[in-house]
Amino acid sequence: MDEKMHTGSCLCGAVRFRTRGSLRGVIFCHCGQCRRQSGHFVAATNVADERIVIEGGDAITWYAASNEAKRGFCSRCGSLLFWKHGALDSVSVMAGAFDKPTGLFAECHIFVADKGDYYSIDDGLPQHARSTDKIVVAED
């Protein structure tokens, strides 16, 4: 079993986390919610709930962005940290919150039909108008 450890935190350090095991490739999400919350697009990986330990949970504010999913951010510094679908036993973790070296790799772009009109996507990664069969998203 892969027991690789990854650590990370919010900008102010009030929320820290550590994960155990392999992480999914980084998905770039260009949906309207991600763009509005982050100011651009979101880059996130994913980890099973039982493979993440979060310290400073009292500093996390969870915003119910839809009937199906919520977004977790630090209530002190505002760092976007997590995205959690209520029907899944995993959590998406923002790639930029991890300490280096991350060992992460870019996988694909989703919701490119909703991307901002001020940038282009030209990195050669697969692009999906909405999502893929293997990535569960909120439908709201």
Q: Residue 136's pLDDT band (boundaries 50, 70, 90)?
A: confident
- Whether residue 54 is contained in a domain is answered as yes
- Whether residue 126 is contained in a domain is answered as no
Structural domain including 43 reads 5-114
Q: Give the CA angle between residues 102, 39, 20 to the nearest 5°.
A: 25
Q: What is the average pLDDT across 32-61? A: 96
Instruction: Please give the tally of structural domains in the chain.
Output: 1
Are residues 119 and 127 in contact, defined by beta-carbon separation less than 8 angstroms? no
- Whether residue 123 is contained in a domain is answered as no
- Whether residue 128 is contained in a domain is answered as no
Q: What is the average pLDDT across 40-66? A: 97
CATH number (domain holding residue 24): 2.170.150.70
- Whether residue 120 is contained in a domain is answered as no
Pairing relationship of beta strands 69-74 and 80-85 according to DSSP bridges:
antiparallel
**Rounded to two decimals, what is the model's pTM?**
0.93
CA 62 to each of CA 29, 72, 85, 122: distance values in angstroms, whole numbers, following the listed order? 19, 4, 12, 33
Tokens, residue 63: 């915003």
